[in-house]
Amino acid sequence: MSDTAVWRVAIDTGGTFTDAYFFNENTGKSHVAKVSSTPASPELAVLESIRAGGITPADIRLLTHGTTVATNALITRRLSKAALVTTTGFRDVIEIRDGTKEDLWDAYKDPSPPYIRRRDRFEINERIDHAGKVITPLDVAGLRALARLLVKRGYEAVAICFLNSYINIAHEKLAREILEEELPGVFISASAEITPEMFEHPRFSTAVINAVTGPVVGRYIGALDTALKQQGYKGDLLILHSGGGVLTAEGSRRYAARLASSGIVAGAIAGGHIARECGFQNAISLDMGGTSTDISLMYKGQLRMQSTWSVEYGHPIMFPSVEVITIGAGGGSIAWRDPGGSLRNGPQSAGAAPGPACYEKGGLEATNSDANVVLGRLGTALLDGKLKLDSVSARDAVMNKIGIPLLLTEAAAAHAIVRVANANMANATKLISVGRGFDPRDFALVVFGGAGPLHGCDLARELDIPVVVFPRHPGIASAMGCLLVDIRHDLSSMCLLPADETSVPAVEALFERLEAQARERLAGDGVAETDMQISRAVDMRYAGQWRQLTVTREKGETMTAALKAFHAEHERAFAFRDEDRAVEVYAARVVAIGQVPKPPSATAVTGTGELPATTGRRQVFFNEKDGYVDTPVSRREELPVGSTLTGPAIVEQLDSTVVLSPGTTSTVTADRHIVTRFTGGA
């Protein structure tokens, strides 16, 4: 490693912008950069963001990256050509699914089709029963004959999904070895190795998604890794995954499905970290970018996790993930009228090209950014003047698309667009808070992303949230989150045992096996034994229940202690507990952490609390009652620590604009975050 390699860099690639966060190990100083994304070749924007930060890859000691490559591949269906090999009679599991519907009341809405078409799904004779006993041996000759057909058809990947392989992996393991021999260079994904879960549909679905994204992710990671090394980077390329950890480049290729929420999770991690810096253990994070808004929740200092999630409904992914709700609400979200004449907002987006009308790149639709320009909340430039905003184009789009058809004035039309966007985000926030048994009034709202700080105060008022946190670098927060994570692997094993002391030896044996696998994986990632951390958890449920809850379990802990934790969590989540009812242990889970060096927290500084002179003033529309209000505008970097701002106020910076509405009082913390509380007024 070169002596000049003193930078830790985190890069987050979004649909509109690619953000980079730079930390110098020698000086302790940090800075940020923001460039336009290049969707056709995302690695180009990554390299450009490094150059924009004033360094070269040779100067980097550690690079962590959050990417939307796998997510976009699934959404756009630009996937690798893949085949499914399954037990005879189970060819259509991924088409039958689980019988549920995304919208219970819409009889005409069908789920999206499987990622692997029926003609690409093949059956092979083999059978293992529910207890793991081999009923029908694997048809090796038939599998080799099938392999020759797969070669002729030119598949890039194969998913192996056998019935009951979660309890006995022997047939899937043998099939993988045969196919790897017969199909050199083809990506093979065996379901029980990816996620050894009981139910066929989610297990098959996860293996299929891993297969169809594997080559896509592999090509991207390979191209980026090669380009970085050619330009002098000598460290490991670490990729953020859904569980809130990172994988090495090789691990990312093997577990590609884990990257399906890579960029999304970075914001949740950053939001939780920023909330803790400001002294809040309960926080709702809202990351509003150019295309979408990602919302997550932290309770008692821990991010909420989920065991099953999806990019498209009906195609579950069973890798553990930080729970994030994503909706189509961003700066580029388009305002439109439905057939009944009602105003809607998103999920359609103007994206990076042509972008909002105010960008003057050919966009004609009215977007949230255009509405904020009309309202005066956004000025006439972004990225410190590198991106000019045209207020005339913004007004024309708002009036032509919304104002004139709905007989609204310019300000009323723009305000209506913003209010609909806020309502969409408020509803999504209620899903992850009220819908999970949490009261939003007990949380702080951390808003970031390039567009989030424009809407933070309005959202908090709508949800009765008492405090809003605006991070020091709102538009780069997700990138910063990539530097705050460790290498992480999640392993599990089904068990279905009674939750009493008689089951402790069996559960303990499962944990020991999983922990051995976890250490093996971490060692393969180059993690030293001293940097490994292993934690345990169990999934438990009342006998007869379909769903289960996850509770932590310490090594050597009695089952009585686990039961106590389960009853308490069940009551918190569902307002109900029944200590007289039998409880089952559904699965054992292990989280393996390989610690990665992270930048220290910003050094706390003190200030006089005096505000500098404002850089200007402009007319800003906050509500119908007051109309446009003469509002001071300040530069974020000029706000001293300890200073207090009384709303209304606008604070501008490179990566975002903070809107502080009337009736608020804000303080600049020692870490240079802005903490806003409501004191009354509009």
Question: 402 and 365 in contact (C-beta within 8 Å)?
Answer: no
Q: Is the pLDDT of residue 567 over 80?
A: yes
- The DSSP letter of residue 300 is T
The rounded percent of the chain whose pLDDT value lies above 70 is 95
**Predicted confidence (pLDDT) per residue in 350-369, tens digit:** 876 788 999 888 889 999 99
Q: What single-letter DSSP state applies at residue 438? A: -
521, 490 Cβ separation under 8 angstroms: no
d(CA 175, CA 109): 37
- Give pLDDT, residue 604: 46
**Cα(196)–Cα(457) distance, rounded to whole angstroms?**
44
Residue pLDDT, tens place only, 168-220: 999 999 999 999 999 999 999 999 998 888 889 999 999 999 999 999 999 99
- Whole-number pLDDT of residue 279: 94
Tokens for 298?
């932290």
Residue pLDDT, tens place only, 95-112: 999 888 888 888 888 888
* pLDDT-wise least confident of 112-126, 506-520, 597-611: 597-611
Rounded Cα gap, residues 667 and 427, in angstroms: 28
Please state the pTM of the whole predicted model.
0.81
Q: Which two tokens stand for residue 486?
A: 């460790």
Q: Give the whole-angstrom CA distance, residue 199 versus residue 133.
A: 18
Residue type, 14: G
Contact present, 157 and 130 (Cβ < 8 Å)? no
Would you tell me the crossing angle of helices 170-182 and 140-153 to the nearest 10 degrees? 40
The per-residue pLDDT for 487 is 82
pLDDT at 431: 92
Beta-carbon contacts of 434 under 8 Å, excluding residues fewer than 6 positions away, are 440
Upstream peptide bond of 347 is cis (omega within 30 degrees of 0): yes
Mean pLDDT of the chain: 89
Name the segment(s) of the chain with CATH classification 3.30.1490: 487-594
Specify the residue for token string 């202690």: 561
Mean pLDDT (whole number) for 547-571: 88
Please name the CATH architecture into which domain 487-594 falls.
2-Layer Sandwich (3.30)
The secondary structure of residue 580, as a DSSP letter, is T
CA–CA separation, 161 and 192 (whole Å): 8
Report residue 18's pLDDT band, with 50, 70 and 90 as the boundaries: confident
Scan for tokens 């219970």, then name that residue: 104
pLDDT given for residue 1 in this prediction: 44
Cα-based distances in Å from 681 to 215, 375, 399, 622: 55, 19, 29, 11
| Euclidean distance between CA atoms 329 and 478, whole angstroms | 17
CA distance 41 to 53: 20
Contact 676, 465 (CB under 8 A): no
Distance CA 15, CA 37 (A): 7
pLDDT value at 681 more than 60 = no
Domain boundaries for CATH 3.40.1360 within the chain: 74-217
Q: For 60-69, 128-137, 414-423, which range has the lowest pLDDT when averaged over its residues?
A: 60-69
pLDDT of residue 610: 60
Is the CATH code 3.40.1360 the one for domain 74-217?
yes
Q: What is the pLDDT of residue 611?
A: 62
Tokens of 132: 């793991």
Residues 6+ apart with CB under 8 A from 631: 376, 617, 618, 619, 620, 648, 649, 650
Task: Kindly indicate the confidence band of residue 266, based on its pLDDT and cuts at 50, 70 and 90.
Answer: confident
Question: Is the pLDDT reported for residue 76 higher than 90?
Answer: no
Helices (H), 53-126: 69-76, 93-96
Query: Which string of b and e fits 444-472 if b means at least 16 CB within 10 Å?
Result: bbbbbbbbbbbbbbbbbbbbebebbbbbb
Q: Identify the band that residue 309 occupies on the pLDDT scale cut at 50, 70 and 90.
A: confident
First to last CA, the chain: 56
Nearest to 591 by CA among 552, 540, 549, 548: 552
